[in-house]
Amino acid sequence: MSDVATNLRRIEATLPQGVALVAVSKFHPLPAISEAYAAGQRVFGESRVQELAVKAPQLPDDIRWHFIGHLQTNKVRQLIRLRPALIESVDTDRLLSVIDAEAAKEGVVQNVLMQLHVAREETKFGFSPDELLKYFSERRFENLKATHICGVMGMASNTDYESRVLEDFRLISDTFREIGRMCPDLRGFDTVSMGMSHDYLMAVDCGSTMVRVGTAIFGDRY
């Protein structure tokens, strides 16, 4: 069994039933992704449209690609045409509108997650919890024609203080639950994507239903 396969098995063994694993393959070569695929992994995460455009045609069609990086509006059309299973990083109203318009043109319904910004780093993108709650309280999602909001995505602060990381994850989970209470008729709103290689177990304890793990599977980036 390859190192990638061994790493996958080890991580899968730590995940409760119902928690999905996204293998973050960004910056990793095709052979490494193929090893993970051979070990049974089908969901992979990429953060650059151009990199996904190169990789996807060379890999099996049943891979479900998640886009997890910051997405510029001028890259949306190209990304939609690559048919990602999920865009996890919708961080502005404008981006959501562009995704909706391009998906409608392509005749597809695009699944997305709304990205929450709870981390201390200013470089992170996303809606504040208050902004996202306002979006849903105003039921602006009802204007979407070709986009399905499946849940939220977020990242904890990059810190060694475990208490701060847990606080961030709980805020993401609490915001998700509050949206559910606010909009009980919102169908298919069931995903909380949070947790990476170094903190995914804490994220799961705080209610994550999807973790994004790269280094712990593939090793350091190339």
In a domain, 188, yes or no: yes
In a domain, 67, yes or no: yes
Vertex 186 angle, CA 182 and 192, to 5°: 85
CA distances from 126 to 18, 104, 123, 163 (A): 26, 24, 10, 22
In a domain, 163, yes or no: yes
DSSP annotation of 179: H
State the residue range of the domain holding 213: 3-217
In a domain, 42, yes or no: yes
pLDDT of residue 123: 64
pLDDT of residue 121: 72
- Stated as kind and residue range, the H or E segment containing 182 is helix 162-182
pLDDT, averaged in runs of 10, over the chain (222 residues): 90 97 96 96 98 97 97 98 98 97 98 94 85 97 97 93 95 98 95 96 98 94 60
Q: Who contacts 96 (Cβ-Cβ below 8 Å, separation ≥6)?
A: 90, 112, 114, 144, 147
pLDDT of residue 1: 62
CATH assignment of the domain containing 156: 3.20.20.10
Which residue shows structure tokens 């990381």? 165
In a domain, 149, yes or no: yes
Length of the chain as a residue count: 222
Domain count, the chain: 1
In a domain, 148, yes or no: yes
